[in-house]
Amino acid sequence: MPRWVFSFGAGGADGGTHLKHLLGGKGANLAEMALLGLPVPPGFTITTEVCRHFYANGKTYPDGLRDEVEQALVQLSQRTGRSFGDAQHPLLVAVRSGALASMPGMMDTVLNLGLNDVTVEALAREAGDERFALDSYRRFIQMYGDVVLGVGVHLFEDVLDDVKDREGYFADTELSAAEWRDIIDEFKRLVEQETGAPFPQDPVEQLWGAICAVFGSWMNSRAVTFRKLHGIPSTAGTAVNIQAMVFGNMDERSATGVAFTRNPSTGEKTLYGEFLVNAQGEDVVAGLRTPQDITEASRVSTRSERPSLELLMPETYREFIGYCDQLERHFRDIQDIEFTIERGKLWMLQTRSGKRTTEAAMRIAVEMANEGLISRDEAIERIDPSSLDQLLHPTIDADVERDVLVTGLPASPGAAIGEIVFTSEEAERARQRGIKSILVRIETSPEDIHGMHAAEGILTARGGMTSHAAVVARGMGKPCVVGVGALKVDGAVGSLTVHGRTLHRGDVITIDGGTGQVMVGRVPMRQPALSGTFATLMEWADAARRMKVRTNVETPSDARVAREFGAEGIGLCRTEHMFFDHQRITAVREMILAETPERRRDACAKILPMQRQDFAELFEIMHGLPVCIRLLDPPLHEFLPRGEQEIGEVARVLGLTPEALRRRVENLEEFNPMLGHRGCRLAVSFPEIAEMQARAIFEAAVIAARSTGVPVMPEIMVPLVAARAELDYVKAIIARVATAVAKESGEHIGYQVGTMIELPRAALKAADIAESAEFFSFGTNDLTQTTFGISRDDAASFLPTYLQKGILSRDPFVSIDPDGVGELIKIAIERGRRTRPDIKLGICGEHGGDPDSIAFCEGAGLTYVSCSPFRVPIARLAAARAAIAERREFGV
């Protein structure tokens, strides 16, 4: 019999983190904290399995659930000395969602459940504060009315606002007990009017209503969007946590707060958190009041005038930091903790692994490994390679003088420039038009996630470092500044005002999420560098990985960037990309369009010095590291002249009339250029081109070897080979030129000739091809195109539909299709090695920078991966993680 309910509290628990899949993150960690002896308000968790059952069976509950909940309530009564509806000591509970993956603010919560016309009086007596009890009751009716009964929140707010306007009050605290009683009556009337039934007085009925609403909220549109964005399966389900209420809003000795055991923005090892005196938990996260610092150190650094918890309640503070330390050591990761102090008594409400910026993640991982809390391998595994992308993006140039408009809290680092927008819809529209935007809000709510995604950065007037905007932005890696108190936002008019300056929708601003500064206009940015903990982690990754990481480059500047990012050579130099320059492209067109070998030789002679110069520079920058140069592989349609002007220009150079040239171009036009006259086919038709390129490579190798004093051994790669005979034909040309250049220069030139494997036939005939090829490099762009029979140029028009309909789970041009393309790669490796056991194997398609594909390459036993320069650090880390996983699997 499955068990549906697990209790916790008072030094014990039925569950723990080992049952996370059933209890959800929150429930599992509450149980774990109870087991550790921390003061957790007692409660119980209804499992995620009940949620799955709920949706699979027309929103009904499994047999036995009601009995188990009843028993859990009995146990909860014993643990608290309170029971539902009791006129002396009523049990009040919070009902919260809790999925396996954290989905902050996406699902529903009901607090103060158990209050009714009778128990509210008991609460008033117990708290010695009638207004507090009545305020709690009206909050409950409002929350329950909204979440469970579907009565719009604004209707409740209107009632409250009417009373405040009538009496001329500004804050809720000015209302008298009698006025709260009137409001409660009004709220109850409102519920009856809207739902046709009185507000439920029976706590058990209230409880089942709340349980149903929380399970129901798993499928609300916010939660569905969030899951889609974060790749969380909708089948996972949420648990429901029912926990005795503790009140942070009972008096001035009560408080509620959140804390991170380390700084989630920078990773620095200092307790980092905020609290509010006399408040309920949601008040901190909602960011409606600006909170106080927990430690004195952070109060001083934020220059806050409000006292810290350390100063205000020193004993509770010491107890709290003790638990923080204990939890971090127990979970061996930064913890994000929620707590409440009820009349001086500390209660721990939640702990979970803290969301952090990539920069913080890196520092925390490295420092925890240095502290001996985790191993270096674990440190490497803690960092998602794709997240490095954030660090590899620009920040504001430190040398530039900043004209700072205003400064807020630095909630998520990185700088962003964009036009001001005031709603998520505007941000979405801007993105669709290719315009970069900054989303400016008073505060953000979970409804804003799509706008936050669409914008380059987020700026809010309210909220602290743990407000919704801050937490979500850090998770997304979006620059974010919050809590700019001086900012007056008028979204309806489309303007914002700060210190007397007004900016309008569409005006450009720059925000710096690392300092909290907001600047008008565009501020120059600087490229990132790998230093500090990033560099350390990369060193550890380099020590852990087996595969080499090369780069795909053709320009000296990209080659230098790649070297700085740690590239260990060039895996692909696409020589056709060296010709996109206007002056050169004419010479290339001349070369392609020439009608006789003589004319083509003339054109080649013009290009030779340029190519030689290019290659020499690349060899020099790579300073002895391997450099793999691919012979020309231009899809012809990318190079043919178009339009009157281009045709006229090329015709003049070629000594043809425009009409004659147009005819020649028409002759070369292809129906399927991707499957046409490209790759080695070009070298077969026009051997003069291969000859020129080989000469440029060898002469450059001689130049670079002389200038650097380091031998250069070029790898020459022949593209789009389907049969060994093609390779042999081109290889013979290369060999002839090598001999000639050696003779002319008097230098010995070592080199290798290999091929790309990018056609299924090449993969199948790999044993044969390896007789001639000294290396294989998998061109997975073309291999994917030709294996699926999906044109690279046309895929965008229908592949998204395939993904949407679930026919393909990933875009095979982004992440290797392990079953089909992957099988061809494995076949090629196995057959290639049969002929040439030590054959060098690499990958240079776009997949070489994709972490999942890199893991595939590790498993397949490739020698190296090659990717674009900005992905080199990602590939280094991904290769390390893949090697660690592989070692673990084979128990090495």
Residues labelled as active-site residues: 468, 844
Buried b (16+ CB within 10 A) or exposed e, 32-50: bbbbbebbbbbbbbbbbbb
Q: How many whole angstroms separate alpha carbon 590 and alpha carbon 651?
A: 9
> Is residue 571 near Mg ion by the rule CB under 5 A?
no
Identity of the residue, 342 or 633, whose beta carbon is nearer to ligand PEP in the bound complex: 633
Identity of the residue, 467 or 780, whose beta carbon is nearer to ligand PEP in the bound complex: 780
SS3 percent helix, strand, coil of the chain, rounded to 5, is 50, 15, 35
Shortest distance, CB of residue 336 to ligand PEP, whole angstroms? 42
- Span interacting with Mg ion, options 236-244, 319-327, 780-788, 807-815, rule CB under 5 A: 780-788
* Interaction partner, residue 464 (Mg ion, ligand PEP, none; CB < 5-8 Å by kind): none
Q: How many whole angstroms separate alpha carbon 30 and alpha carbon 333?
A: 16
> Is residue 278 near ligand PEP by the rule CB under 6 A?
no
Q: How many whole angstroms separate alpha carbon 508 and alpha carbon 519?
A: 9
Residue 583 Cα to chain centre, angstroms: 41
* Interaction partner, residue 574 (ligand PEP, Mg ion, none; CB < 5-8 Å by kind): ligand PEP
Task: Quickly count: other Cβ atoms within 10 Å of residue 178's Cβ.
Answer: 11
Q: How many whole angstroms separate alpha carbon 242 and alpha carbon 47?
A: 11
Shortest distance, CB of residue 779 to ligand PEP, whole angstroms? 3
Identity of the residue, 558 or 758, whose beta carbon is nearer to ligand PEP in the bound complex: 758
- Residues in the chain, how many? 892
Write the single-letter amino acid at 686: F
x/- map, 574-593, ligand PEP, by CB under 6 A: x-------------------
DSSP 376-443: HHHHHHTS-GGGGGGGGS-EE-TTS---EEEE-EEEE-SEEEEEEE-SHHHHHHHHHTT--EEEEESS
* Interaction partner, residue 780 (ligand PEP, Mg ion, none; CB < 5-8 Å by kind): ligand PEP
Identity of the residue, 273 or 779, whose beta carbon is nearer to ligand PEP in the bound complex: 779
DSSP character for 511? E
280 and 354 Cβ atoms separated by less than 8 Å = no
501 and 521 Cβ atoms separated by less than 8 Å = no
Residue 179 Cα to chain centre, angstroms: 49
Identity of the residue, 351 or 787, whose beta carbon is nearer to ligand PEP in the bound complex: 787
Helix/strand/coil (H/E/C) assignment for every residue in 150-161? CCCHHHHHHHHH
> Is residue 677 near ligand PEP by the rule CB under 6 A?
no
Q: How many whole angstroms separate alpha carbon 892 and alpha carbon 889?
A: 8
Closest-CA residue to 550 (of 882, 783, 860, 879): 879
Q: Where are the beta strands (DSSP E) in 522-561?
A: 525-526, 548-552
Closest-CA residue to 357 (of 397, 390, 386, 393): 390
DSSP 321-390: HHHHHHHHHHHTS-EEEEEEEETTEEEEEEEEEPP--HHHHHHHHHHHHHTTSS-HHHHHHTS-GGGGGG
Shortest distance, CB of residue 635 to ligand PEP, whole angstroms? 8
Which of 160, 572, 689, 737 forms a contact with ligand PEP (CB under 6 A)? 572
Task: Show the tokens assigned to 293.
Answer: 């610092």
Q: How many whole angstroms separate alpha carbon 179 and alpha carbon 62?
A: 44
Crossing angle of helices 597-622 and 556-564, in 10° steps, is: 30
Return the residue matching tokens 């305020």.
Answer: 135
Helix/strand/coil (H/E/C) assignment for every residue in 214-277? HHHHCCCHHHHHHHHHHCCCCCCCEEEEEEECCCCCCCCCCEEEEEECCCCCCCCCCCEEEEEE
x/- map, 753-772, Mg ion, by CB under 5 A: -----x--------------
Write the single-letter amino acid at 396: I
Which of 146, 336, 512, 782 forms a contact with Mg ion (CB under 5 A)? 782
Number of H helices, E strands in the chain: 34, 32
CA atoms within 13 A on the CB side of 883: 20
> Is residue 779 near Mg ion by the rule CB under 5 A?
yes
Write the single-letter amino acid at 538: M
> Is residue 780 near ligand PEP by the rule CB under 6 A?
yes
Which of 220, 407, 708, 781 forms a contact with ligand PEP (CB under 6 A)? 781
> Is residue 791 near ligand PEP by the rule CB under 6 A?
no
Return the residue matching tokens 């040309």.
Answer: 733
Which of 456, 620, 782, 850 forms a contact with ligand PEP (CB under 6 A)? 782
Q: How large is the C-alpha radius of gyration of the chain?
A: 33
Shortest distance, CB of residue 781 to Mg ion, whole angstroms? 5
Closest-CA residue to 110 (of 120, 98, 99, 95): 95
Identity of the residue, 381 or 758, whose beta carbon is nearer to Mg ion in the bound complex: 758
x/- map, 744-763, ligand PEP, by CB under 6 A: --------------x-----
Q: How many whole angstroms separate alpha carbon 683 and alpha carbon 663?
A: 23
> Is residue 457 near ligand PEP by the rule CB under 6 A?
no
Which of 114, 569, 760, 845 forms a contact with ligand PEP (CB under 6 A)? 845
Task: Show the tokens assigned to 887.
Answer: 């070692």
* Interaction partner, residue 195 (Mg ion, ligand PEP, none; CB < 5-8 Å by kind): none
> Is residue 68 near ligand PEP by the rule CB under 6 A?
no
How many residues make contact with ligand PEP (CB under 6 A)? Answer: 10
Q: Where are the beta strands (DSSP E) in 575-632?
A: 627-630
Residues of this chain that bind Mg ion (CB under 5 A)? 758, 779, 782
Residues of this chain that bind ligand PEP (CB under 6 A)? 572, 574, 633, 758, 779-782, 844-845
